[in-house]
Amino acid sequence: MRILITGANGLLGSKLAATALSRGFEVFSGYILDSPMVGKPIPMDITDEASVRRAFKQSRPDAVFHCAAMTDVDKCEEDQEAAIKVNSEGTRTISRQAALSSSYIAYISTDYVFDGAKGNYIESDPTNPVNAYGRSKLLGEEVVRSSGADFLIARSSVIYGAQPAMGKVNFALWLLESLRARKPVTLLTDQCVSPTLNTSLAGMLLESFEKHLTGTYHMAGATRVSRYEFGSALAGTFGLDQSLIRAATALDFQGRWKAARPPDSSLDVSKATSILQTKPLALNDALKELREEIDG
């Protein structure tokens, strides 16, 4: 099976490429500037329709895993036009090509399509994003749904993993580096999410394609936690000093953020759990796996 990954240098895309390759898929790794180390590199800017057409022609994918996005929530708020161009219009271009090539498309969406007033969201709960990133990703969902391609929309939440992607550390690695250097960190107690290990998400996405799962699914970690609780659990798993973690509330962070954040965007993963063999992981299991990936 041939798969095309957009954003193959990113936190999720790079793990997906490595996992797919190890399972025998022929992997085409889309990039803009730096040629990815894993898979067959294929230049593609998702905002440039001609380059997307060329990438599809060259790779002839059975499935496209659309991971490319403008993911910096505050940058999306500052430049809302760019967020729409990449996250919504770029997704329209990719999904249209997927439909034309009869390729399955898996679009990675986000818990930020919800306003966070309720938490533990199921797939059919009403969406109501509170920031530009969420709005641009939600529009992405809508264009995928109406593209005519066989689609999976996989909503995830706070993705983390064992490796920096293009030199960028993720939330878990930043915490680990800080705690190992004995630097105090301040984490929110009143913002809840469903942190997701990239390895686990990559496995769920590949299985979804193998099963030809279509529709919308919440594919995230199985445990709802605040960032503070995540930090404490991570410190516990890695044997680090939990007293370095200080508690704060979203009010303390006001003024530092350009974009509003949903207070509780955690996702109910029962639907994915009931169908997939690769189950969403409970936080302690995911952190143990992270430790194994990092420490061997």
Ligand X SMILES: NC(=O)c1ccc[n+]([C@@H]2O[C@H](COP(=O)([O-])OP(=O)(O)OC[C@H]3O[C@@H](n4cnc5c(N)ncnc54)[C@H](OP(=O)(O)O)[C@@H]3O)[C@@H](O)[C@H]2O)c1
Interface with ligand X (CB under 6 A): 6-7, 9-13, 32-33, 44-47, 67-71, 86, 90, 108, 110, 137, 156-159, 165-166
Task: Report, in Å, the least distance between residue 239 CB and ligand X.
Answer: 25
Task: Report, in Å, the least distance between residue 154 CB and ligand X.
Answer: 9
Nearest to ligand X of 18, 68 (CB atom): 68
Task: Report, in Å, the least distance between residue 41 CB and ligand X.
Answer: 12
Task: Report, in Å, the least distance between residue 79 CB and ligand X.
Answer: 12
Task: Report, in Å, the least distance between residue 196 CB and ligand X.
Answer: 7
| Alpha-carbon gap, residue 23 to 26, rounded angstroms | 9
Tokens, residue 85:
């161009």
The type of residue at 45 is D
Nearest to ligand X of 101, 110 (CB atom): 110
Handedness of CA 13, 44, 38, 174 (dihedral sign): negative
Task: Report, in Å, the least distance between residue 112 CB and ligand X.
Answer: 7
Nearest to ligand X of 205, 242 (CB atom): 205
Nearest to ligand X of 9, 101 (CB atom): 9
Residue nearest to ligand X (CB): 10
121: annotated active-site residue: no
Nearest to ligand X of 13, 203 (CB atom): 13
Tokens, residue 223:
């445990």
| Alpha-carbon gap, residue 249 to 128, rounded angstroms | 23
Q: At what angle do helices 283-295 and 227-238 cross, to 10 degrees?
A: 50
**Of the residues 112, 133, 160, 228, which is catalytic?**
133
Q: Which residues are catalytic?
A: 133
